[in-house]
Amino acid sequence: MSRLGQGAAPIVVLGLVLLGSTYLMSNATQDSARFGELYSALLAINAVALIGLGVLIARNLYHLLHQARERRPGARLTVRMVIVFVVLSVTPVTIVYYFSLQFLHRGIDSWFDVRIERALDDALDLSRTALGVRMRELLAQTARIASDLEPLTDEQAVGALDDARRLSGASELTLIGANGRIVGSSITDPTSVVPSRPDDTILLQARGAGDYIGLDDIGDRGLHVQVVMSVPSHEATGEPRLLQALFPVTERMDALADSVESASAKYRELSYLRKPLKLSFTLTLSIVLLVSLFTAVYAAFRSARRMVAPLQDLSEGTKAVAGGDYETQLPSAARDEIGFLVASFNEMTRQLKRAHDETRASQLLVEAQRAYLETVLRRLSTGVLTLDGDRRLVTANHAATEILGVDLDAMIGATLDTLADRHPDLAPLVHNLLERFGQGTAQGQREGREEVGVATPQGRRTLVCSTASLAGGEGDVIVFDDATEFIRAQRSAAWSEVARRLAHEIKNPLTPIQLAAERLRHKYLHKVQSIDAAQMDRLTRTIVQQVESMKEMVNAFSDYARTPAMRQVSIDLNALVLDVVELYRTASPAVRFETRLGRPLPAVHADPDRLRQVLHNLLKNAVEACGGGEAPWVRTQTRPGGAHDEAMVELSVHDSGAGFRDDVVDRIFEPYVTSKPKGTGLGLAIAKKIVEEHGGAVSGRNAPGGGARITVLLPAANTSHGPAPRAGAATSVQDA
C-alpha cells in the first residue's frame, strides 16, 4: 500500500491554501473592488481544486473498495473507520451549510424593501416633476426668443442671439438653417467654440410635429435642458429655421438629481442582481463546503489508513511467519499500544529466526557429515551394503556395484531374497549371508570374515566378506573386498616357489648322475667286450645326453620361476650386441652374422645380464631357424627412435630361415609354445617378460623377403622420467 506524503505537512499546506482561496472568494462575492477582478479566477481555482480532491477521493475509494472486496487484511477496518470519520465530519458541516444558506437568502432578501423602492421611485418622480416645471418655463422663454427672431433676417438674427442668450440665461443659443446648416450661435463657455448640434431625429421632430424639449447630459457640462423649436421665416415662402437653446440646470438641482438618479439606479441594479447574488453566494458557500468536506473526507481516508497500516503490517507479518519467513521485521510504529504490539511482534520473529537458524545449522552439519561419509564410501574400493531390519537393501556404494557387476542402485529397497532371485549369480553370496544372519542375533557372533565365490560378468570372483549389525540393532552392514587378484597372485607365488624348489631338488642329483655315467664310461668302456662296449657306449651316452637336456630344462624352468632383482645401469646397446654376436660367430662358423649398428645410439637404462639373455634367446632362435638352409645369415640391427618422437632404441634380429610357422605365429610369446622337439617354448616368453620389465615392447613377424624378424623397442636412458618397469603379475610373484 502506498503511503503518499508520509507527513501531515502537505495536507496542512493544501488545507491552508484552500482555506485562503475560499476566503478570498467569499470576499470577492461581496464585490469589494480588490477581489472583484480575481473572482472568476478564484472560482476556477477552487473548482479545479475541488475536482482534484474529488478525483483523489474517488481513487482512494476505489482502491479501498477493491481491497475490501479482495478481503485484503485491514481493508474492512479501514472502510469502517472511513465511514465513521466521514459521518462525523459531514453531518455537522451539512447542518451548518443548510442553516447558513437559509440565513444568507433571508439576509439578502431583507436588504430589499418595497417601501424603499417606492420611496426611490417617488424621489425620481419628484425630480422629474421639479425639472418639468422648470422646463415649461424655459420653453416659454425660448418661444419668446423665437418670436423675437422671427421678423429678422439670418444676419440680423445672428447679431441678436448674444443679447437674447444673456437675457434668457441660456448657456447656448444656436440658429439652424433650413438646410440643417448652423447659421449662427452664441455660447457662454469661452473654451468651447463648436456649438453642439442636435440629433437628426430631434431636428426632424422639431420641423414636423412641433417643439422638442428634453433633459440631457451635454458632453461633460452636466445636465442641461434642451429646447428645439422652429422659427418661422421672415419671408412667407421661406423654410422655417430652427432654434436650439440649452439651459443649464442649477448646480444644486443638478447635484440632487444626480444623487437621486444614482441611488435609484444602484438600488435597481442591486434588486436586479438579487437572484444572481444569491446564486453566487450559494455557489461560493457550496464550494467552501465541498472543499472543506472533501478535505475532511480525504483526511479521513489518510488517517484511517495510517491507523490501520500497523495492524495490516502485523496481519501480513503473521501470515509471513506462518508461511515460514522468519526474516519479517515490521517498521516500528508510534509509541502507543499498537507500537508496543509491533515491537513485540518483531521480538518474536527475532527469536523465531534465531531458533530456526540454529536448527538449520545443525541440519547442515549433519548433511555435511553425511556427504563426507558418502564421498568416502564412494571412493572406497571395498563394497559396502547396508540392510534394514527386514533385510532390505538400504544403501550400496559404487564399489559394490562394480565388484558384483549388478546395478544395485536399482535394487534399493529389495530384500536379499529378491536380489538372489533377480540375479542368480549372487545366490551363493546371499545364502552365505543369510546363513550368517541365521546363526544368531547376538552382535559379536555374526562378525567375521569369510571367502565367498561369486560368478560375475568379469568371471569368477572371490570375495572376502564380513558383516556387522548396525548400532541399535536395526539392520546390518555388509563389507566385502574383491580378493580375486590377490588370491591369484598368492597362488602364482606359491607355484613359483614350488617350481624353484623342485628345480633345485632335481638339479642336485643330476650332476652326480652325469658324473657317474661319465666315469662309468671312462673306466669300463675299454674293459668290456666289444658288443657290450658298443651297448655300454650307447647307454652311457644316452644317460649323459638325457641328463644334460634335463639340466637345461630345469635351468629354464627355474629361470622362469625365479627372477633375480633387476640391476639397471646405463649401457651401450651396440657394444652389447657386438659382444653377444661375436660369441655366436665363433660357435656357428657356417652362419654369416651381419650387424648394422645405428650411431650415435642413445644409451639404454637396463640390466645388462638380462638384456644379454634377451639377445641370446633371439639369436639362438635365429640360428636354429636358419641353420639347415643354404648360405644362412643372421642380421642384427640397432637404430634410434621408435615410430613417434618418444626417445626409444630399436633392436631387431632377422634371419634367413623359413619364418614363423602359421600354427604358432600368433602365440610365439606365450610360455610353452614351441614347434621344436626339444624346445621349452620359454625363450621368447622370457624375452618378452624382460623387455616389458624395462618398459619396452617386443613384436615378431615374417619379413616380406622371407625369414623371421623380431623387433625390440627399449626406452632410451636420457628420457626425462627414465624407464619405468612395468608392474605386472610377475612382479607380484617376485615380491610375494
Partner 1 sequence: MVEHAALRAAGGTYVVDARIDFAFSEDNLEAMRNGVALTVIVDIEVRRERGKWWDETLVARELRYRIETNVLTGRYRVRNLDEGSTRNHRSLEEMMETLGHLESVPVIARERLSADAHYAARIRARLDIEALPSPLRPIAYLSPRWRLNSGWFEWRIER
Residues that bind Mg ion (CB under 5 A): 621, 683
Kindly state whether residue 37 participates in binding partner 1, applying the rule CB under 8 A.
yes
Instruction: Supply the minimum distance, in Å, between the C-beta of residue 687 and Mg ion.
Output: 9
Q: What's the rounded Cα separation, in Å, for the pair 45 and 39?
A: 10
Residue in 109, 137, 199, 336 binding partner 1, rule: CB under 8 A: 199
- Count CA atoms within 13 Å of residue 176 on its CB side: 23
* Beta-carbon count within 10 A of 149 CB: 23
Instruction: Supply the minimum distance, in Å, between the C-beta of residue 265 and partner 1.
Output: 4
268 binds, among Mg ion, partner 1, ligand ATP, none (CB under 5 to 8 A by kind): partner 1
586: buried, middle or exposed (CB in 10 Å: 19+, 13-18, 0-12)? Answer: exposed
43 binds, among partner 1, ligand ATP, Mg ion, none (CB under 5 to 8 A by kind): partner 1
SS3 sequence of 138-152: HHHHHHHHHHHHCCC
Kindly state whether residue 273 participates in binding partner 1, applying the rule CB under 8 A.
yes
Instruction: Supply the minimum distance, in Å, between the C-beta of residue 683 and Mg ion.
Output: 3
Residues between 538 and 577 with contacts to ligand ATP, criterion CB under 6 A: 556
Q: Which is nearer to ligand ATP, 286 or 711 (CB)?
A: 711
Residues between 625 and 654 with contacts to ligand ATP, criterion CB under 6 A: 625
Give the type of residue at 194.
V
Instruction: Supply the minimum distance, in Å, between the C-beta of residue 258 and partner 1.
Output: 8
Q: Which stretch binds partner 1 (CB under 8 A): 13-21, 262-270, 475-483, 557-565?
A: 262-270
Residue in 216, 425, 450, 572 binding partner 1, rule: CB under 8 A: 216
Residues between 128 and 167 with contacts to partner 1, criterion CB under 8 A: 128
Q: What's the rounded Cα separation, in Å, for the pair 406 and 456?
A: 8
42 binds, among Mg ion, partner 1, ligand ATP, none (CB under 5 to 8 A by kind): none
> If you count them, how many residues does the chain have?
736
Kindly state whether residue 268 participates in binding partner 1, applying the rule CB under 8 A.
yes
Residues between 232 and 261 with contacts to partner 1, criterion CB under 8 A: 257, 260-261
Q: Are 625 and 657 in contact (CB under 8 A)?
A: yes
279 binds, among partner 1, Mg ion, ligand ATP, none (CB under 5 to 8 A by kind): partner 1
Query: Which DSSP state fits 677?
Result: T
Residues 6+ apart with CB under 8 A from 426: 404, 406, 419, 420, 454
Nearest to 694 by CA among 730, 723, 666: 723
Residues 6+ apart with CB under 8 A from 115: none
Residue in 279, 498, 583, 727 binding partner 1, rule: CB under 8 A: 279
Kindly state whether residue 378 participates in binding ligand ATP, applying the rule CB under 6 A.
no
Residue in 682, 690, 691, 713 binding ligand ATP, rule: CB under 6 A: 682
Helix (H, G, I), strand (E, B) or coil at 125: helix
The strands making up 449-456's β-sheet, listed across from edge to edge, are 393-396, 383-387, 476-482, 459-469, 449-456
Q: Are 605 and 715 in contact (CB under 8 A)?
A: yes
Kindly state whether residue 550 participates in binding partner 1, applying the rule CB under 8 A.
no
Q: Which is nearer to partner 1, 154 or 261 (CB)?
A: 261
Nearest to 280 by CA among 522, 31, 451: 31
Residues between 88 and 127 with contacts to partner 1, criterion CB under 8 A: 124, 127
CA angle (88, 89, 92) in 5-degree steps: 90
Kindly state whether residue 46 participates in binding partner 1, applying the rule CB under 8 A.
no
Phi and psi torsions of 530, nearest 5° = -60, -45
Q: Which is nearer to Mg ion, 248 or 683 (CB)?
A: 683
714 binds, among Mg ion, partner 1, ligand ATP, none (CB under 5 to 8 A by kind): none
Kindly state whether residue 668 participates in binding ligand ATP, applying the rule CB under 6 A.
yes
Interacting residues toward ligand ATP by CB under 6 A:
556, 617, 621-622, 625, 655, 657, 659-661, 664, 668, 673-676, 679-684, 708
